[in-house]
Amino acid sequence: MKIIFASVLLFATVMCVKAQHTDLIANSEGRKTVSLDGQWQTIVDPYETGYYDYRYQPSANGYFKDTKPKSKSDLIEYDFDTSETLAVPGDWNTQKERLLLYEGTIWYKKAFDHQKKPNTRIFVYFGAASYLSDVYLNGQKLGRHEGGFTPFNFEITNLVRDKGNSLIVKVDNKRRRDAVPTLNTDWWNYGGLTREVKLIEVPDTFVQDYFIQLQKGSQNRIGGWVRLNGGKLNQKITVRISEARISQTFTADAKGYAEINFNADLTLWSPDNPKLYDVRVEAETEQVQDQIGFRSIEVKGPEILLNGRPIFLRGVSIHEEAPFRGGRAHSKEDAGTLLNWAKELGCNFVRLAHYPHNETMIREADRMGIMVWSEIPVYWTILWENPATFENAQAQLSEMIARDKNRAAIIIWSVANETPLGDTRLTFLKKLIERARSLDSTRLISAALERHYLDDKKTQMIDDPLGEYLDVLGCNEYVGWYDGLPEKIDTLDWKTKYQKPLIMSEFGADALYGKHGDALTRWSEEYQEDLYRRTVKMLKKISFLRGTSPWILMDFRSPRRPLPGIQDFRNRKGLISDRGEKKKAFFVMQEYYRELAAPFQK
């Protein structure tokens, strides 16, 4: 009886610590931090032996205890310190050949020392971990985080020691039907601590978060809020933008929250002039600095207005895949290469598919003047009716917005990609849209929808009921690749039920760089080129089209693409190969964007 009670209690404690990561600390890139990047000790654990006992109950003495034998007779069947290492940040699949197809658990350990200063608090911050993470410090569980592409942090003030800390993370990338994304995706299920890990040290009461952007519809009024966290909440907070001669002081309420609101005479951010201001948020106990751009983004009928002027989004879709070396991208160099290719193509816009990319990518886009569509991996066949799936999608959406809401580059939050019509899906996505609008009323909301044929077999109709709730319609179409041959493209007419701008959020064809043939030879550069030529002609006739993001900038790894000698497990729809070689279709798109740039002025 006692044993049963004890194990129930243990189970309850292990399970109850679920999910309690603290709200994200804003601007992790701009704060003083200690990097924990580098080699971490790792244990590959396909059966989760380090987590469950032999009755498949959570074990009290899992690997997170990091126990060492105390005598020569002690039985301990693992040892982080003599185990293999993996680099963080980095996916595990591309670091060791035998992990390429691995989907399961790997335990990570980092030992560190840290002299905590008086009157400070310490957080451990993860840029992302794919997909499900259980985090422990010195044998104690800090919490769990679900979702592979958004940051999270835990407070460790009371657990951290001056010497010999053991930070252990169980990362599990097993796919699940009820997860977001679900079992089925056209991209590689990279696992691991794929982004940076760091310690953030802040004063006892600190600036937890802030939202500083132009108010919806205004080009000269900044609105938003600042939120403090700690014991001394009722502080004065000054928002200072010295270059614009702005210094405005507010008083936080008893909860540490201050609404901010003031006029500002600013040079607006745009692709022509990606102006960023040094913005300081000065509370009494902490001062934080950030680089923030200000611009307005609105829709009016089928127009998209940037700073009040109509704009055409000359875009391209991008996966978070590293050029040349492969695997998950995470560095400034990766971001620079991808975004410079987009610029060379003539882009002023990128669709970052199909999940939030790393923060460096967004900050580079901010600096380079490239507008961004950012999305969550609500992709294809999510379990719409499952409440936990909704909570998970909503958490990922909230974390995406929490991290990037001060980046001028981001103009669109997208809630879904190619999801099948139905009532439960509509309810699910409407709720996500409401949540996005409640967190950020300044940006546009979109989703990549599908089209269908009318009876005449040539009219492409966009009338997905979700369209009613979006600001901008996205549409993925693959006429000429999955649907007929390229000549079919010439016959199409486009219609929409909505008086709203359309972004053709995907179109394209696979081509292996260097493979040549005539325009009807699948996988040849000529087929892809011909499809792009015909598609561009078609696009020019769509009166409500205000943007394009062809699929895709660079070839990327996908488990759905086995064809030997051609695909070799890569989606070859890139305009550029994974080795950086430009295919013929790149230049078709480049020419179209040159034409478009002229009247619309970048």
Residues forming contacts to ligand GCB in the complex (CB under 6 A) are 186, 354, 417-418, 476, 506, 551, 571, 573
Nearer to ligand GCB, 358 or 571 (CB): 571
Pairwise CA distance, residues 406 & 291, whole Å: 9
Cβ 74 to ligand GCB shortest distance, Å: 50
Cβ 308 to ligand GCB shortest distance, Å: 32
Output Rg (C-alpha) for the chain, integer angstroms: 25
Cβ 560 to ligand GCB shortest distance, Å: 8
In the DSSP assignment, the letter for residue 95 is T
Cβ 5 to ligand GCB shortest distance, Å: 50
Cβ 246 to ligand GCB shortest distance, Å: 42
Pairwise CA distance, residues 207 & 229, whole Å: 6
Nearer to ligand GCB, 93 or 476 (CB): 476
Cβ 508 to ligand GCB shortest distance, Å: 7
Which strands form 410-417's sheet, in the order they lie side by side?
313-314, 545-548, 502-506, 472-476, 444-449, 410-417, 371-375, 349-352, 317-318
Question: Using a CB cutoff of 8 Å and minimum separation of 24, what contacts does 309-312 make?
Answer: 310/600, 311/348, 311/546, 311/600, 312/546, 312/547, 312/596, 312/600
Q: Which residue is nearest to ligand GCB (CB)?
A: 186
Cβ 575 to ligand GCB shortest distance, Å: 13
Pairwise CA distance, residues 150 & 130, whole Å: 9
CA-angle at 81, arms to 100 and 111, nearest 5°? 100
Strand 303-306 and strand 297-300: pairing?
Answer: antiparallel
Nearer to ligand GCB, 342 or 596 (CB): 342
Nearer to ligand GCB, 27 or 505 (CB): 505
Residue with the two structure tokens 């950012």: 374
Nearer to ligand GCB, 296 or 476 (CB): 476
In the DSSP assignment, the letter for residue 420 is P
Nearer to ligand GCB, 557 or 573 (CB): 573
Nearer to ligand GCB, 36 or 329 (CB): 329
Pairwise CA distance, residues 372 & 352, whole Å: 7
Nearer to ligand GCB, 291 or 446 (CB): 446
CA-angle at 175, arms to 381 and 53, nearest 5°? 140
Pairwise CA distance, residues 485 & 364, whole Å: 38
Pseudo-torsion of CA 342, 343, 345, 348, nearest 10°?
A: 90
Nearer to ligand GCB, 354 or 583 (CB): 354
Cβ 379 to ligand GCB shortest distance, Å: 7
Cβ of 152: how many Cβ atoms within 10 Å? 24
Pairwise CA distance, residues 358 & 244, whole Å: 30
Cβ 471 to ligand GCB shortest distance, Å: 20
Cβ 354 to ligand GCB shortest distance, Å: 6
Nearer to ligand GCB, 476 or 496 (CB): 476
Residue 220: exposed, middle, or buried by beta-carbon count in 10 A (0-12, 13-18, 19+)? middle
